[in-house]
Structure 1
């Protein structure tokens, strides 16, 4: 229940920000997408919690769901490669596809999830390397720092999740 209350509070934050600042210009579509993302993340975590009593497994799912949520949210809001309009950001959809397909192939079992999230971290690194090598988003003032920092951040999250799944598999 606390998680759903936190999700509702997160959805209310931009609503208040729209009322009191000029820096936040959300429309109904933005609220709908954000709400759908929160719902998807919440349902995913709820299903995982119901699957197992392992705290390591639950934490691993929480980290993976948070990483996926943040990756989508950042790309929709500002983009990692250049701006949110840069089509190179679509490569991050491939990162998420590897996570989802790997999880399904591993049947959501801890050992399979360890491999899936490790592969996801590798895919995240490859997207960063491709973006840097091809100079995608090079016109952005934050190039290449944004790509390097975000790649490191997300790789750390994917690997943390993989490690927690490994702990769940061994104990």
Structure 2
């Protein structure tokens, strides 16, 4: 499939997903998105789709594509959850900004690995480890004060949700490791 066709599919999928809250707004007052909500969601969804298309084109087997898909999904969910409700406490807790480090580790690792499967595996494992470290720092070392302090943070919920996010990065690493074992070559062109 050509890059133009892939981008058209990503754009159509993004538009379809944005129709869901638009239609829901017509039937319930519970869904109340503003124009900026639609713009942010559209940029995030299209950006994630574009990222997946570009990375998936670098590999030549299903494990590589699954690893890319899960890694991109983990990044999208991390950003979405952090913007919506926050990963530690509320979205106003400044400790949530530390999770940018997870995305940075994954992106820098992918570029350093030149998108080769074994290097991508290491980058995803490093992102998973970074996720755990950031969560520990956010929960046990960072003590927000004032309006950002949440007196009733349910520790089990926060740790459980963050463990799932860290696991997504780790499973992506395992999929890339499996792709490396099957001999995926990463010398394909983007266009």
Moved over 6 A (4+): none
CA contact (8 A) 1:82 1:140 kept: no
**Cα gap change, 1:24/1:38 in structure 2, threshold over 3 Å: closer, same or farther?**
same
1:80-119 correspondence to structure 2 within 5 Å? 80-119=87-126
Q: Does 1:21 align with 2:32?
A: no
CA separation of 1:79 and 1:122: change in aligned 2, threshold 3 A: same
Contact 1:83 1:140 in 2 (8 A): no
Report how far residue 157 of structure 1 moved.
Answer: 0.4
State the partner residue of 1:62.
69
Offset at residue 4 of structure 1 (A):
5.0
> Tell me, which stretches of 5 or more residues in structure 1 are unaligned?
none
C-alpha displacement at 1:6, in angstroms?
Answer: 3.7
**Shift in Å, 1:102:** 0.8
Aligned to 1:143: 154
Q: Report the TM-score, using the length of structure 1 for normalisation.
A: 0.91
Structure 2 CA distance, aligned partners of 1:141 and 1:19? 35
Aligned equivalents of 1:44, 1:23: Cα separation in 2: 32
Higher mean displacement: 7-16 or 25-34:
7-16
Match of 1:35 in 2: 42
Q: 1:51 aligns with which of 35, 54, 58?
A: 58
User: Once superposed, what is the RMSD of the aligned Cα atoms?
Assistant: 1.8
In 2, the alpha carbon distance for the partners of 1:71 and 1:3 equals: 20
Matched, 1:156 2:167: yes
1:166 aligns with 2:177: yes
Q: Distance in 2 between matches of 1:110 and 1:49?
A: 11
Q: What's the CA shift for 1:22?
A: 2.1
Match of 1:133 among 134, 140, 144: 140
**Residues in 1 aligned to 2:151 and 2:81: alpha-carbon distance in whole angstroms:** 15
Contact 1:138 1:144 in 2 (8 A): no
Matched residue SS, 2:57: helix
Whole-Å separation in 2 of the counterparts to 1:144 and 1:56: 35
Task: Give how far 1:129 is off.
Answer: 0.9
